[in-house]
């Protein structure tokens, strides 16, 4: 909760006016290609939350199975994860530091 509160408060530092804060928060809930809400993002968040709820024992068995896979299969899986991650990143470049204007 603390992390989300801090990240949410960064919007106030980043915006030049309260109108921009309202516009940004409004865009978070509007579906479409230019918003943060998309099917891949929702699936990734759901998977991350779901994996945190899995008991330790099944995760240990999954880890043991993954360790038995050959190196090319692990490399292909890692490449797939990297491609999916790169496909979901913004093409507008890296945002400047939030304290840049101070």
Report the C-alpha gap between 28 and 52 in whole angstroms: 25
Number of folded domains in the chain? Answer: 2
Q: 15 and 27 in contact (C-beta within 8 Å)? A: no
Residue 100 lies in a domain: no
Tokens of 68: 């038995």
Range of the domain at 65: 38-93
Residue 98 lies in a domain: no
Report the C-alpha gap between 73 and 81 in whole angstroms: 12
Q: 21 and 28 in contact (C-beta within 8 Å)? A: no
The residues, any chain, with a CB within 8 Å of residue 25's CB and separated by 6 or more, are 11
Do 80 and 59 share a domain, yes or no?
Answer: yes
Residue with more model confidence, 56 or 22:
22
Residue 101 lies in a domain: no
Do 54 and 80 share a domain, yes or no?
Answer: yes
Q: Is the pLDDT of residue 102 over 60?
A: no
Q: 75 and 83 in contact (C-beta within 8 Å)? A: no
Q: 31-74, pLDDT tens digit by residue?
A: 766 666 778 888 988 999 988 887 778 778 888 888 899 999 99
Do 59 and 79 share a domain, yes or no?
Answer: yes
């Amino acid at each position: 909760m603390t992390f989300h509160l801090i990240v949410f408060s960064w919007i106030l530092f980043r915006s030049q006016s309260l109108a921009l804060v309202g516009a940004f928060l409004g865009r978070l809930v509007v579906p479409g290609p230019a918003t943060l809400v998309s099917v891949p993002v929702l699936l990734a968040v759901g998977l991350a939350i779901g994996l945190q709820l899995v008991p330790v024992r099944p995760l240990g068995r999954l880890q043991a199975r993954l360790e038995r896979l050959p190196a090319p299969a692990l490399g292909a899986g890692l490449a797939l994860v990297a491609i999916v991650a790169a496909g979901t990143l913004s093409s507008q470049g890296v945002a400047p530091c939030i304290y840049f204007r101070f």
